Amino acid sequence: MKSNQLPVNEYAQYYSGYIQVLDNVDLIEELEICLHDFIRFVQNIPMDKFDYRYAEGKWTIKDIIQHLIDAERVFSYRALRISRNDKTPLPGFEENLYVDNANANKRKLQELLTEMAVVRQSTLALFKSFSEEQLKRIGLASDNAVSVRAIGFIIIGHQKHHQKIFQERYL
């Protein structure tokens, strides 16, 4: 499925910015490609930038990489539950608490990138296992309707959103 084919009623308005910037990408292909693009991009960032905060209280690049890892795990779990036709409403998560308790800045960059790649491989295996019917299933997460396939595009758009922030505010 391509991102421009995703009906807007399959995700919350909050996520429209993530999905609408995707340039007619295929879900499975882009999950794979954008990880490699991101890792290559991050590896070209000067080492002195990884602990930089552009303003007080803002996250470092390492914090954001850990945030992407944590968010992808949460999103994938939501996709799994919804794909299995679990109708239980899924709660949101407090991203600032996750960042505050992740110790990302004490980790080596390569450890973070390796973890991100492993998580993405797991996400890819999960999304490749879904049937067309499962991809179209809609559940409730953070008090909003969302389809399994929308979650996949949200993962991609979320990563691209933060990469753009790196370019605009950190470099």
SS3 84: coil
Distance between CA atoms of residues 26 and 11, nearest Å: 17
**pLDDT tens by residue, the chain, 171 residues:** 899 899 999 999 999 999 988 989 999 999 999 999 999 999 999 999 999 999 999 999 999 999 999 999 999 999 999 999 999 999 999 999 999 999 999 999 999 999 999 999 999 999 999 999 999 999 999 999 999 999 999 999 999 999 999 999 988
- What one-character DSSP code corresponds to residue 104? G
Domains with residue ranges and CATH for the chain: 3-170 (1.20.120.450)
Tokens of 25: 């990408």
Task: Specify the pTM.
Answer: 0.96
- What one-character DSSP code corresponds to residue 26? B
